[in-house]
Amino acid sequence: MTARRALVVTVVHHPLDARIRQRQITALLEAGWAVTYAAPFGGYGVADTDPRVRTIELPRAVGRRRLAALRAARSLLAREARAHDVVLLHDPELLVAALLAGLRRLPPVVWDVHEDTAASVAMKAWLPGVLRRPAAAAVRWLERRAERRVHLLLAEDGYRARFAVDHPVVPNTTAVPARPSSPERPAAVYVGHLTGPRGVVELVATGRLLHERSGGRLGVRLIGPADADSRALLDPPPPGVTWHGFLPHAEAMAALDGALVGLSLLHDQPNYRVSRPSKVAEYLAHGVPVVTTALPEAQLLVERSEGGVVVPFVQGAADPEAVADAVLALDADPPGRRAMGARGHAYAVEHLDWRRHGRDFVDHLARLAGTGRRPTHRVSRLVASAPRTSTTGTPGH
């Protein structure tokens, strides 16, 4: 039997993005699919060295510089898509490219909805303030049009209300180690992008406080790429802060193992209120106690797992003093933090393991590959009749 073929495309995300490359593409490869991956490898200075993946270079869409990436993606889809059974798009911009390439000539097109794009517009520093409301309205219009023209996958249950019909959810869960290491290393670790809304200022301030209050023994380790404003804070890093930059997912998880605490200090922003931070799931999976701001989904995870501490918002952001207090309390209580890490890992084994959701993801793409090109309400409702995924751990789409 000929292997199914998937064309996976992004011009915005890092080519080694955990959801795209480590979870979804790996799940397809393990199921025997042939994968073509088009992404801005050069724009991020990385390569995909897996011989099972055919890669195609695309320009990177960044800030206001997006037109070249859009044109290249349209050309790619017109040239490559028909040699595949499914096209999986990861950026809203690519919906425009697909429309320009002519959807009627393409195989089933799937948009993987990573975020509440309209809500995130308010956080785009490169977009002038006067344009943010019209841009958000344009995104909502594009979403409504896309729902009638392409298939949708959602990264969060909270995204369902944005759409007219129900769509399957592929949650941001993670691979859960069988045996996590004990949280003993004297470091609070953050894994993810470093930006203002993601709490970089509070992370740096927490590192300084931990360094001062522990006599230099404790600090914060930051793992991930930084935007321009964040780089200005981190070059050079202040005392108590170590910045590793971007690390491939496996290396980032290895650096996380055994950490005293995992930090998630996201601000109280509309886009974050309906999203479950993947970093919180990763910390729990690795048996690392979590310290998080009181975003609804993050707080729900921590409370249900009993795997961490929630710090309240102060004017929409974390209070570094409260974060440092939480870290120091865990540092002073080895039995308590070990028990907390063990509870978080046990919860992750039961509710957050990607291996379960990865099979559902592949099965869904396989079903679409055997259907017509255009979505129908009948298909969407059939998928939605399966149990919903939620932070309670209910399996399935």
* 135 and 194 co-located in one domain: no
What are the pLDDT digits (tens) for 294-313?
999 999 999 999 999 999 99
Give the closest residue to 290 by CA, choosing from 325, 253, 335, 327.
327
For 83-142, the pLDDT digits (tens) are 999 999 999 889 889 988 888 889 999 999 887 665 566 556 655 656 566 666 666 767
Domains: count for the chain? 2
Question: Do 236 and 364 reside in the same domain of the chain?
Answer: no
358: nearest Cα among 20, 39, 108, 34: 20
Q: Do 107 and 13 belong to one domain?
A: yes
Residues 269 and 368 placed together within one structural domain of the fold: no
Q: Indicate whether 15 and 61 sit together in one domain.
A: yes
Indicate whether 25 and 96 sit together in one domain: yes
Ordered mean pLDDT values, 10 residues apiece, the chain (397 residues): 90 93 96 97 94 97 83 95 96 88 89 74 59 65 76 87 85 91 94 95 98 97 94 93 93 95 95 88 97 96 97 97 98 97 96 91 91 54 34 30
Encoded amino acid at 237, one letter: P
Please, is 178 exposed, middle or buried when counting C-beta atoms within 10 Å of its C-beta (0-12, 13-18, 19+)? exposed
Are 167 and 40 within one domain?
yes
3 state SS of 226 = strand
Beta strand spans in 65-150 (E)? 86-89, 109-113
pTM confidence score: 0.83
Q: State the pairing for strand pair 109-113/86-89.
A: parallel
Q: Cα–Cα distance between 306 and 287 in angstroms, integer? A: 12
- Its domain, for residue 320, covers 185-351
Which two structure tokens, joined as six digits, stand for 138? 């344009």
Q: How far apart are CA 387 and CA 168, in angstroms?
A: 10
Helix extents (H) in 150-199: none
286, part of any domain: yes
Residues 345 and 358 in one domain: no
Tell me the C-alpha to C-alpha distance, in Å, between residue 377 and each of 83, 113, 116, 166, 236.
26, 18, 22, 9, 54
In a domain, 394, yes or no: no
Distance from CA of residue 354 to its chain's centroid?
13
The answer to whether residue 368 sits within a structural domain is yes
CATH number of the domain to which 109 belongs:
3.40.50.2000
Same domain? 37 vs 149: yes
90 in a structural domain? yes
DSSP assignment letter at 193: -
Query: Are 101 and 205 in the same domain?
Result: no
**Residue that the structure tokens 């695309």 belong to:** 58
Same domain, 62 and 141: yes
**Same structural domain, 161 and 189:** no
